[in-house]
């Protein structure tokens, strides 16, 4: 039973003028919290409505899992913001908003008069959240940026986090975007709190590049000292704490061991989990200062021991030793993972074509606030008439805008 009848952001209005993932994901999370999010799309719609081929799923919004993932809970309005009438409607939406979210590049925003400096004069209480590729200063500030480029490649993620001699990881769409989204949400909520107290809004900027650099920052900073253990990419055999690494089991699975406190837990690990009591206090490998001269020897030994048993054995051993571990699961396994369903990470959603798909919730849970039912995202322009009517437009005016192509009502893609 929930303690509160309302969600934390009920009564807050948000206008989203954004495409693809990062900014829409932020707005989706705020919608989960109760905000009235109005997503403004161009007449052809958000590009994310057209990515079915990339994901091997049916084309069209009757089963658009990708668009739903980032846009559930929003009202979808379609306006030609380049037309006078469409722009006027957008301006009215912003005038009534508490938060404006976008991922347009700065030059485009300035040309459209939608940059922060312009809007804050008219709407001083407005909180303005923007996703950028590389930030708003420096030589790359106007470059187009996606998570493949700005987050994975430029930030040092792809250029460092792989076993030396192999290839960089295969980047995954949305990976960096989702992290940016939650950072942006925390920023705009802080700005909203101050705006409610002072009447003064602010501009919150989160870039994919900054987020990626922040995510590798612990070792990025350590690399300045020049120790070979921090000069990534490196070979797994050169890790100064090889107990934090994935190893191949006898059934050809990858098992992630994690023993960060090497000196404190080495003897427990080798004696109990590895079942090699003969290695306790072995001067070649313990303490860790001795290990650095025997890394190759330990790597070969560790691989050999892990390869003797299957993944179930190692799960049992690590549980008995009460040490951190995880099986490197495939997506098929995650979609059936009891823990994922028990902790409300996954839920089943029925789409307009009748198919049921497993969907992922945003990763913030409340104890006393019930989050909304997970429903398919709205069709392109599904809420245009409703929202324009709320702004004071008559039925005849709305009909005229739609007839002129300045707005669009429900369009079913696919």
- Residue 34 gets the label, from left (phi > 0), alpha (psi -120 to 50) or beta, of left
Please give the full DSSP string across 224-262, using - where no structure is assigned.
GG--GGGSSS--GGG-S-TTSEEEE-TTS-EEEE----H
Can you tell me whether residue 95 is helix, strand or coil? Answer: helix
- Paired tokens of 78: 């379609």
What is the spatial distance between Cα 39 and Cα 15, in angstroms, rounded to a whole number?
Answer: 6
Q: Which of 36, 80, 177, 299 is catalytic?
A: 177
Using a 10 angstrom Cβ sphere, with 0-12 exposed, 13-18 middle and 19 or more buried, the burial of residue 18 is buried
Which helix (H) or strand (E) covers residue 100, if one does?
strand 99-102
Burial 283-319 (b: 16+ CB within 10 A, else e): eebbeeeebeeebeebbebbeebbeebebebbeebbe
- Paired tokens of 138: 């420096």
| Residue 71: other Cβ atoms inside 10 A | 26
Is the CA virtual torsion 23, 13, 10, 77 positive or negative?
A: negative
Specify the residue for token string 């090699």: 276
What is the spatial distance between Cα 77 and Cα 379, in angstroms, rounded to a whole number?
Answer: 9
What is the spatial distance between Cα 72 and Cα 370, in angstroms, rounded to a whole number?
Answer: 16
Task: Judge whether 177 counts as a catalytic residue.
Answer: yes
Using omega within 30 degrees of 0 as the cis cutoff, is the peptide bond preceding 287 cis? yes
Please give the full DSSP string across 127-194, using - where no structure is assigned.
EEEEEESS-SSSTTTTS---IIIIIIITTTSTTTSS-TTS------TTHHHHHHHHHHHHHHHHHHHH
Q: What share of the chain is helix, strand, coil (3-state, %, to 5)?
A: 45, 15, 45
Which residues form the catalytic set? 177
């Amino acid at each position: 039973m929930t303690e509160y009848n309302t969600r934390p952001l009920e009564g807050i209005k948000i206008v989203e003028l954004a495409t693809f993932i990062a900014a829409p994901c932020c707005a989706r999370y705020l919608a989960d919290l109760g905000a009235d999010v109005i997503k403004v799309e161009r007449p052809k719609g958000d590009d994310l409505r057209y990515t079915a081929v990339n994901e091997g799923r049916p084309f069209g919004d009757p089963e658009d899992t990708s668009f739903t993932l980032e846009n559930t809970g929003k009202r979808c309005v379609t306006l030609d913001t380049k037309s006078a009438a469409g722009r006027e409607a957008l301006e009215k939406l912003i005038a009534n908003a508490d938060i404006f979210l976008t991922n347009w590049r700065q030059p485009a925003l300035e040309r459209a008069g939608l940059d922060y400096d312009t809007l804050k004069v008219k709407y001083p209480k407005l909180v303005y959240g923007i996703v950028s590729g590389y930030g708003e200063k420096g030589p790359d500030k106007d470059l187009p940026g996606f998570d493949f480029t700005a987050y994975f490649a430029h930030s040092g993620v792809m250029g460092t986090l792989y076993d030396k001699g192999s290839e960089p990881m295969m980047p995954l769409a949305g990976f960096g975007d989702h992290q940016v989204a939650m950072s942006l949400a925390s920023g705009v909520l802080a700005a909203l709190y101050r705006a409610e107290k002072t009447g003064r809004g602010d501009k919150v900027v989160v870039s994919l590049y900054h987020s990626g650099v922040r995510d590798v920052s612990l070792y990025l900073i350590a690399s300045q000292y020049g120790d070979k253990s921090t000069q990534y990419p490196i070979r797994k055999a050169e890790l100064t704490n090889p107990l934090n690494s994935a190893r191949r089991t006898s059934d050809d699975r990858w098992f992630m061991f994690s023993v960060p406190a090497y000196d404190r837990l080495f003897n427990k690990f080798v004696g109990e989990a590895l079942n090699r009591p003969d290695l306790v206090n072995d001067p070649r490998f313990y303490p860790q200062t001795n290990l650095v001269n025997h890394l190759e020897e330990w790597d070969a030994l560790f691989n050999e021991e892990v390869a003797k048993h299957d993944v179930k054995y190692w799960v049992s051993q690590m549980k008995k030793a009460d040490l951190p571990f995880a099986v490197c699961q495939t997506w098929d396994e995650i979609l059936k993972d009891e823990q994922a369903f028990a902790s409300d990470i996954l839920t089943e959603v029925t789409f307009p074509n009748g198919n049921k798909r497993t969907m992922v919730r945003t990763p913030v849970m409340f104890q006393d606030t019930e989050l909304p039912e997970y429903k398919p995202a709205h069709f392109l322009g599904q809420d245009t008439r409703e929202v324009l009517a709320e702004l004071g437009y008559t039925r005849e005016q709305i009909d005229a805008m739609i007839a002129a192509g300045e707005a669009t009502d429900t369009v079913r893609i696919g």
